[in-house]
Amino acid sequence: IELSVTDGGATGSVFWVVTSSTAVGNPTAQFNAGWGIPDPLMDGVYIWSGTCDSLGVSDNALAGFSYYPNPATEVLSLKSANTIESVSLFNLLGQQVISTEIGATTSDINLSSLTAGTYIMKVTVDGQTGTYKVLKN
């Protein structure tokens, strides 16, 4: 685990690495690869706090872009205020299953060759990329 820290004006990273079962009860800390503290008497409770952001495809939306229907059966329709450059669909294994260049503000994507399931669609509009979840029935 790497955590950024500030201690007495010095800023750096603390690395906490467990490499074997013998590390239990023998904690080791390392600050910027400059010093280490292996001390079997340093038992205690480590509390790390912070804020985690949710990761989701809704965070990567393009203004003026829409697609429908979702879920889709045969055809997914795309519409954008600006030119849609390209569209790629990926299965949940990360394999690209559809890739096409568009060059228009509207387009239909044929999904008939895909099996039913969840896909991630990557769309590029005017140099900006957005990702969306697509359901195929």
pLDDT digits (tens, 9 = 90+) for 125-135: 999 999 999 99
Higher pLDDT, 35 or 50: 50
Percent residues over pLDDT 70 in the chain: 56
Q: State the pLDDT at residue 35.
A: 46
In a domain, 51, yes or no: no
Least confident of 13-17, 63-67, 103-107: 13-17
- Indicate whether 28 and 65 sit together in one domain: no
In a domain, 52, yes or no: no
Structural domain span for residue 32: 2-38
| pLDDT exceeds 70 at position 84 | yes
- Indicate whether 86 and 123 sit together in one domain: yes
Q: What is the mean pLDDT of the chain?
A: 77
In a domain, 50, yes or no: no
- Indicate whether 21 and 79 sit together in one domain: no
> How many C-beta atoms lie closer than 10 Å to residue 121's C-beta?
20
How far apart, in Å, are the Cα atoms of 59 and each of 1, 86, 132? Answer: 26, 19, 9
Residue 106 belongs to a domain with what CATH number?
2.60.40.1220
27 preceded by a cis bond (ω within 30 of 0): no
Higher pLDDT, 61 or 92: 92
> How many C-beta atoms lie closer than 10 Å to residue 77's C-beta?
14
Pick from 136, 131, 133, 137: nearest CA to 86: 131
Instruction: Report how many domains make up the chain.
Output: 2
